[in-house]
Amino acid sequence: MNRFEHLLKPLRIKSMELSNRVVLPPITTMLANGDHSVSDANTAYMKRVAGSGAGLIITEVAAVHPDGIEGPGMLGIYDDRFISGLSSVVSEVHKQKHKVMVQIYHVGRESQYQLERGRAAAPSALAGIFKIAPREMNREDIGEVIHCFGQAAIRARAAGFDGVELHAAHGYLLMQFLSELSNHRLDEYGGNFRERSRFILEVIREVRSQVGPDYPISIRISAEEYAVGGYTIEDMLGIVHLFVEAGIDMIHTSFGTQASPGGMVCPTIEYQPGFNAQLAAQIKTVVDIPVIAVGRFTNLSAAEKTLARGDADLVAFGRQHLADPKFFWNALEGKEEATVECLACNQGCIERLYKGKGIRCAINPETGQELIYPERRSGKIRKVLVVGAGPAGLTAAFQAARLGHQVVLLEKEGNSGGQVRLAARAPYKDVYGRWIDKLTKTAIRAGVDIRLGQTADIDFIKKEAADVVIIATGARNIRPAIPGINSPHVIDAWQVLQGAAELTDHTVIIGGGLVGMETADYLREKRISNVVVVDTLLRSPVKKSNGHGYMLHRRLNEAGYQLWLETRIIKIETEQLTVEKAGEEKLLRPVRQVIFAAGSSPFNKLGYALEKENIPYHLIGDACRPRSILEAVEEGAHAAWSIQ
């Protein structure tokens, strides 16, 4: 018996037959051309992810109306001119012998781009996450959008898509009509929950009438709104059968909106793989059509269990496809340990998109950069010396070796990973350590000569006579000139995370950034009580709008930890701190231990020496400027790719 027998079982949905039950769900890439048509980057991205083996691929959202597109870089399907480009996407998937649907939508009020243009329309003139009220749609507007959904479905079929999915989740227009938080209408498109479903039902019927009886139509829903005053799964169970009666063939069961607390739409590492499959299971109790489960799935084993329990008929793997699209084949070949697990950090796939930038993956530099990713080995082998085995240095070393270069990687510490290795000791972040371990092993298999416990000075570099030097020496903690900062009871956060310090109650952490907050979370896990985190900023630098940040704040608050903002340390003494809080001097006591976690600066002494000797080099990662894993990995990859 195949241990993935449920996942590998074929499935027919109307005219579409799937070879397996693995789904790549829609992931916005922001790679479209300026006119919202499919770009070469879109096609290259789709070619790569389509090779993952997923039986069904659902492309990123395409807008049915010019005013329904969320912003620049996103796809349109509101005009016949888009058909040719969309056909190229279909072709790339069909070459891999899999099926592809396109997701179509209207953004409604949740677009700063449309709001600032004065073009945003919604069920009611109620502001959403961008705090600007949209225009309330009249009946003519409603009829036009319904018609546009039908025309978009016709174009999808003309482009060769095997089906179409309606996006009625995550707070976009279809869901806006459904939610009482965004729909206060008094006409037939308002009212109670069932009455508010009228708009969605009319869209479904219009699409069905345009594509005929055998063309598959899916709908992605937020089965539960996850917002104060929002609808619940019980509400959804009362109407979902209406979607089926109107013409839906498959239900893609997601959850939440962009306004839901804790970033639930893109769950972070605190959430277990498949944590929300229970919503799909409940939907299955009231419908007899295929149901897709979603919720931070990262491996086939968890997905197989979900299907074996009967909780769903298909399982969607979103961000895991970005981190390592080989996860499916690895599992089938019994090499699951080779798969790089998604960190659920959201740095490249979500946070960049909010900034209007193209998609990336923090740990896979190929994602979103398929057009420049070098696949062939270099025609000329170079000797490459990389200094520093953090994420930037490891990535540079592996990518250079992959391209055929002779690579030596030096690391002064006894293990690789740099500060990520320490960060992995914080609660829920062990996956970061596993990533570093796999990246290290991958680099060694590629031929990198990793020398731990060895430093590099200018004499060593001259002796090595490397053609290329890449400096990835990272950053170092900095301590401000505060009286008492060098007292015996003042330690660094890294000492705490290394397990090199004895912990005690009544501790103050200086620095409320991610390092400080995660150090506090580490203390919470160790059951340390009476902890205060102080920061000079007016607002916490760890934003609650970020899923991991939200969970951090919640856990520390539940533990009784205090966060003192607008607080400057004046003096550190035995058992007490003198601080200035909001312009007023205060005494904080008792204080048995002070943990410093307030900033770092680039460590680049070697670069200065190389400049004096006129030796060219690449400076990457925190050695250039302290930032996130995303920048470290991307700069490491680019340094390797640039070697001539």
pLDDT for the residue numbered 544:
87
In sequence order, what are the residues at sequence separation of 6 or more whose Cβ sits closer than 8 angstroms to the Cβ of residue 547? Answer: 262, 263, 264, 266, 267, 268, 270, 346
Q: Which residues are catalytic?
A: 172
Long-range contacts of 353-361 (CB under 8 A, 24+ apart): 353/28, 353/30, 356/30, 356/71, 356/72, 356/73, 357/30, 358/29, 358/30, 358/31, 358/41, 358/73, 359/27, 359/28, 359/29, 359/30, 359/31, 359/45, 359/322, 360/630, 360/634, 361/319, 361/322, 361/323
pLDDT for the residue numbered 1:
55
Proportion of the chain above pLDDT 70, given as a percent: 100
| Fold entry, domain 490-598 | FAD/NAD(P)-binding domain (3.50.50)
Domain with CATH 3.40.50.720 in the chain: 383-477+601-641
For residue 218, the number of C-alpha atoms closer than 13 Å in the C-beta half-sphere is 33
Is 463 strand, coil or helix?
Answer: helix
Nearest CA to 76 out of 84, 87, 92, 65 is that of 65
Torsional class of 32: left (φ above 0), alpha (ψ -120 to 50), beta (otherwise) = beta
E strand residue ranges, 348-426: 383-387, 406-411
Nearest CA to 257 out of 73, 108, 359 is that of 108
pLDDT for the residue numbered 542:
93
Q: Looking at 389-479, list the stretches that DSSP marks H as alpha helix, in order from N- to C-terminal side.
A: 391-402, 419-423, 430-445, 458-464
Whether 263 has a pLDDT exceeding 80, the answer reads: no
Look up residue 347 and give its DSSP letter. I
Is 185 strand, coil or helix?
Answer: coil
Whether 441 has a pLDDT exceeding 90, the answer reads: yes
CATH superfamily of 383-477+601-641: NAD(P)-binding Rossmann-like Domain (3.40.50.720)
pLDDT for the residue numbered 603:
87
pLDDT digits (tens, 9 = 90+) for 14-57: 999 999 999 999 999 999 999 999 999 999 999 999 999 999 99
Domain with CATH 3.50.50.60 in the chain: 490-598
pLDDT digits (tens, 9 = 90+) for 575-626: 999 999 988 999 999 999 999 998 788 888 888 889 888 888 999 999 999 9
CATH superfamily of 11-354: Aldolase class I (3.20.20.70)
Average pLDDT value for the chain: 95
Proportion of the chain above pLDDT 90, given as a percent: 90
Predicted confidence band of residue 141 (pLDDT cuts 50, 70, 90):
very high
Whether 262 has a pLDDT exceeding 80, the answer reads: no
Domain with CATH 3.20.20.70 in the chain: 11-354
